[in-house]
Structure 1
Amino acid sequence: MPLTLTADQAHARLHELTVVDVRTPGEYASGHLPGAHNIPLDQLDRALDALRTAAGRGDLLVVCASGARSATACERLAAHGIGAATLSGGTGAWTRLGHATDRSTGTRAPWAMERQVRLAAGSLVLTGLLAGRRWSAARWGSAGVAGGLVFSALTDTCGMARILAKLPHNRPATGDLDTTLAALAG
C-alpha cells in the first residue's frame, strides 16, 4: 500500500481499509470518515497492540484534519513495525471533494482543535497587550505567543494544540477508547 492516499483513492478503497482517526474526540465528533476508529495521537502508544492486530487483517489508513498528525502517527507506527498510510490533506481534503462524513450524535461536539488554538492564542495576545498598558513587561507574553505561532507554522507542529488536547473535553472517555481498542483487536 502506498504511504499516502489521496481522498479519492481512500474513498475507492474505504470498504477494505481500517481507518484510524488520530484527532481529538471533539474533532472526531464534528465529522469523520465513515467507519473510522478514534484513537487520539497522544493515546497511540496505548493502541499499538490493537493496531498491530488490525494491520495483520488488512491495510490501515490514518487520518487527521490536514495530514500532519496522521503522518506523525504513521512514522510512530512504522517505528513499531506497523505499516499504515496517511490521508493526504486529511479530512479537509475529504470533505472538499464532497465525500460523506459521519458525525457523533447525542452530544454537542467541542470546537475543532484549530479553532481552540486560535481562541487561546488570540486571547493570550490580547490579554498581554491590554495588561501591557499598565505593566509594560506583560507585552513579552504576547511576543512569546507570536513567536510560538511562527515556530508552529515553520515546523508544522503546535505545542499549544498539544496542551489543549489534554483538556477534559478533548480527551476520550476511558470506556470509549477501550471499546475502540477491543473493536480493532477483535
Structure 2
Amino acid sequence: MKTITPQDAAALLRDGATLVDVREPDEHARERIPGARSLPLSRLEEAELAVHDGKPVLFHCRSGARTAGNTDRLGAKAGLCEAYIVEGGLDAWKQAGLPVATDRRQPLELMRQVQIAAGSLVVLGVLLGALVSPWLYALAGFVGAGLVFAGVTGTCGLANLLRMMPWNRVPNLPVVTSAG
C-alpha cells in the first residue's frame, strides 16, 4: 500500500475520498481528523467498510506506525479501491496545519492512563520503601511484574481496572463504517 502526505490526503478528501481512523474509539473520541470514520484495528475483521464507488480510501493512526504495521490487513479491507496510508498519521496532519477536532471532555486515552497510574505507583513504592519500610518496595516490584505480564500476555489488569472507572464509563462509542 502506498503512503500519501497529509497535504495530498486533504486534497483527496476534498474530492470525496474516505478517511479511516484505525485507532481505538477512545483515541478517536478525544482527537480526530474531521470527517474520519472510526474503524479500530482491534475490530477490523468484524466490520464492513463502505466506500464511495471509485474513490480512494485513506487510513491513518496517530503516528503512522500502526497503519504501516498492518498494511496487508488494511489493503484487504479496502478491497479493490485505491488505498493509501497517511504518512505520519494524525501527528503529521497536525504539523501540516490541517484541521483537527478535539474534545477535551473525553477522558485521556486508556494507555496514557495506564502509563500515568503505573508510573505513579512505582514512584510511590520507591518513596515509601525508602522513607517508611523496605517492604514497601514490593509495590514497585508488583507493578513492574504486572507490566511484564501485560507485555507477555497482551492482558493488562490495570487497563481493565481503569476501564471500569467512572470517568471511563461513557456510552459505547460508535464505529462509523458507512460511506454516508
- TM-score between the two structures when normalised by the length of structure 2: 0.69
What are the within-5 Å matches in structure 2 for residues 18-97 of structure 1? 18-47=18-47, 50-51=48-49, 53-54=50-51, 57-79=54-76, 82=79, 84-97=83-96
Aligned length: 165
- Please tell me whether the aligned partners of residues 123 and 140 of structure 2 are also in contact (alpha carbons under 8 angstroms): no
TM-fit CA distance, 1:80: 5.6
1:4-59 deviation per Cα after TM superposition (whole angstroms, max 9, x unaligned): 11212212222232111122223212221121011222111111xx22x4275421
1:129-175 deviation per Cα after TM superposition (whole angstroms, max 9, x unaligned): 357532555443354467689x8xxxxxx976xx56x936488727x
Hey, which of these two has a bigger chunk of helix by percent? Answer: 1
Distance 1:146 1:111 in 2: 19
Q: Which runs of 5+ in 2 are unaligned?
A: none
Q: What residue is the counterpart of 1:129 in the other structure?
A: 126
TM-fit CA distance, 1:127: 4.8
- TM-score between the two structures when normalised by the length of structure 1: 0.67
Q: What residue is the counterpart of 2:5 in the other structure?
A: 6
Q: Which runs of 5+ in 1 are unaligned?
A: 152-157
TM-fit CA distance, 1:108: 1.7
User: What is the RMSD computed on CA atoms of the aligned residues?
Assistant: 3.6
Which of 155, 163, 166 is the aligned partner of 1:167?
163
Structure 1 pair 100–42 and aligned structure 2 pair: CA distance change class (3 A): same
Q: Structure 1 vs Structure 2: percent identity of aligned residues?
A: 33
